[in-house]
Amino acid sequence: MARKMGFYGVIAYVLYGFVVYWYLFSFADANLPFEYEGSKADPATFLNGRELMLSEEYSKIRNLLFFLSTPFEWLFYFLILLLGLSKAFKRWGEETSKNKYGQTAIYVFWLSFFAYIATFPLSYISYTLSKTYNISTQSFAAWMKDELIDFWVNYAFMFVIVIVLYWLMNKFKTYWWLFAWLFSVPFTLFIMFLQPVVIDPLYNDFTPLKNKELETKILDLAAQANIPAEHVFEVDMAEKTNALNAYVTGIGSNSRIVLWDTTLNKLNDDQILFIMAHEMAHYVEKHIYIGIAGYLLMSLIGLYLVSRLLNWAIKRWGKEFKLKHPGDLRSLPLFLMFLSMMLFAASPITNLVSRYQETRADDYAIEMTGNTDAAISAFQELTKAGLSQVNPPWLVKIFRYGHPTMLERISRLEEYEIQKRNGN
């Protein structure tokens, strides 16, 4: 039975892959609606023929990798259970250490290591794709360094989470999901507070903005918005990518507004001021805190659903999975599989909320700066640097886009420009 389930799982994944490929390369329409042709949102007006071709190619392949990678993760965890590898990981831990925490550490290491090896080909393809299309400037050695940092950071968090999670599962067999959520609230806030000053610097160097004239302009904007900002940070990303970005991270006293140095190198001051005004809007409208609250609400619902799915799956296929109850450490792959499914299923909702917040931030930024030319040209440069699709297919938009499409953002700015010109 286990062998048959594994076979059907592999076949289902292969068929899914063919359907996704057909959708992205044959069915989906990413062409610009005719009413936008010739407008400032039309990529033909700011990209040359080669850039247009590369943008379509790169986007399709990158979208294909996205839609293949998450279900591949589900298949991996499914096969880990069916092939008895989860049982083997637990046995290796018991044979190596007599300490319960040591056994858990060894189990989590082997599960993380096998997961890394299984997903490495897709990660490497994504890296080489970015190199081929001149998005990434990172050497293989530097990329592997980041990969290894990722592995050990994720392993450390996973170990702590698993220790607490399985203690709760065994102590509170019915309502462990509720107690796990209660523990996750301070943990999430702690990580959000810690990330800008501890985790992010593991990957890049963050320094106060060197261009003091630009920093003064940005801080003037911050003062207009009643934001108590003292510094703007820049991060050295040019050695890794040609893409542009700016963002707000952290909470409380550790909040930071960050500009990639690629953004500083490729955009002029007016364009950067629009982007900074956009980032300030997230602070003014408390989008970070709303996002945390939304995440915690979704995680409560998700943990409850995962607990129900765990009980159902073990009751029905416990023999095949070699599991008797959720509190067995060997159930971790099943827990991670269901959790990943919940996150994937929730992504259209979280992306929809995010797109709404980003639209609000765009509106705030243009009202603050009043410079539509700078705003539109900034979005055009972002599109060019990242080889982004201006009008992505519908499924790509709802599952991948936490920002409005460039068609939506630029056309909205053009409408604002017309209204301003007409005195409305």
Residues forming the active site:
279, 362
DSSP string, 211-262: -HHHHHHHHHHHHHTT------EEE--TTTBS---EEEE--GGG-EEEEEHH
CA 314/CA 93 separation, integer angstroms: 23
Strands (E), 351-394: none
Q: Other C-beta atoms within 10 Å of 279: how many?
A: 21
Annotated binding site for Zn(2+): 278, 282, 358
CA 280/CA 226 separation, integer angstroms: 10
For residue 207, what is the enclosing H or E element?
strand 206-208
Cα torsion angle, 23, 77, 199, 187, sign: positive
Q: Tell me which amino acid residue 141 is.
A: A
Estimate to the nearest angstrom the gap between the alpha carbon of 397 and the chain centroid: 14
Place of tokens 């060894």: 106
C-alpha closest to that of 369 among 217, 215, 212: 217
Q: How many residues does the chain have?
A: 424
Q: Other C-beta atoms within 10 Å of 415: how many?
A: 11
The two tokens of residue 96 are: 């190596």
